[in-house]
Structure 1
């Protein structure tokens, strides 16, 4: 089993961190029993095309240890939960800005209210 969490895109698709892909390719190459590679793909619900692309990338040298290390220590790395929270906060911020603008426009139209006098009190 691979202990690297799989992320989600905004639309719900899965995103696989570089560390996950490297570990999967390592386990895929280590699988020698009949059906073991297929079982590994089913275990992670991966298509043949996805695995084939990862194997090609590994063959081109894109999955080096330095790349994995740099992706793990990225300072600006956000997980999908953080991205979803940020999107929710941006929507709320826009909604509140519109509400404030509407309230300010209404106050401008209505004025600051009628001043109270001693006779009215």
Structure 2
């Protein structure tokens, strides 16, 4: 079953972008999180704010939204964060780094984490090798020791 949300009745002039692609794989039966464009959010906040009190709930039901969506989007609009660059680019710019520098830093952290994992695995293999040699020595000594039959 495919569910499509439409905004054809919306006076904001937004159009329906069609059905979502059907997911496949082991989690196909789980619901997918919806994402909204900044344009859609701004249009919904403007439409919601322009409606009289009795019709606001109808808009939310028609669009499948909650009042918390509108509150959150209004706060983002008022803060000026609703129509900006992607979050990663914003964080990198705030730190004074380019996208390439951020990627290099991310890869360096990943490399350090993998190097630590490798060192831990090498230590575990060394311990297992020493344990194997010790058990083999014990086994040989047990075979060579004459048993006293008292």
Pairwise TM-score range, normalised by the shorter structure: 0.3 to 0.5
TM-score by length of structure 2 reads 0.36
Q: Which has the higher contact order (CA 8 A, sep 6+)?
A: 1
Mark the structure with the bigger radius of gyration: 2
